[in-house]
Amino acid sequence: MKLPFFRRSAQRAAPHSGQSEKAAHILLGRAGEEAAAALLQRAGFTLLDRNWRQGRLELDMVCRDGEELVFVEVKTRRSDGYGGPAAAVTPGKQRVLTRAAQAWLAAHDAWQSPCRFDVVCLLRHGDTFSAEHYPHAFDFSPALDSGHASWQPW
């Protein structure tokens, strides 16, 4: 199933008023990533990397699903206002994730592996989450073309 296309809403949430709200936001994100990891592992995925970084690029999770490498973006929200979690995976965000995936593939010499991008969207309901998993959420396969991508120096 493809990720529904959303544009960011022109409306913005009120600015955060303090450190406690920022800490709550970080804790919510971590709890969402834990829930997403559990969901994917129950589905048979093997977790290879979490919160992998190179410079400003980051991948929430890198998994293996059978023969495929899966780059997973996790979006967690308290509500589905402002378009819900999927609204944050804009075309611009998809391009950044693609660059991060290219960096991961180069760092691990894994260009021969088939790849895909999945998105896991979570909404918090008290102490639980509802989750929606979008396999093959977006396609940037030309950019991940077995080591022949134009950005590579060789």
At 53-67, the pLDDT tens digits run 999 999 999 999 999
The answer to whether residue 150 is domain-embedded is no
Instruction: Say how far apart CA 123 and CA 17 lie, in whole Å.
Output: 22
User: Which has more pLDDT, 75 or 146?
Assistant: 75
DSSP conformation letters of 93-148: HHHHHHHHHHHHHHHTT-TTS-EEEEEEEEEEETTEEEEEEEEEEE--GGGGSTT-
Has residue 117 got a pLDDT over 90?
A: yes
CATH of the domain at 58: 3.40.1350.10
Q: What is the pLDDT of residue 56?
A: 95
Query: How many distinct structural domains can be found in the chain?
Result: 1
Supply the range of the domain harboring residue 130: 19-144
Q: What is the pLDDT of residue 41?
A: 97
Q: What is the pLDDT of residue 109?
A: 93
**Residues 34-57, mean pLDDT to the nearest whole number:** 96
Q: What is the pLDDT of residue 148?
A: 53
State the pTM of this model: 0.78
The answer to whether residue 153 is domain-embedded is no
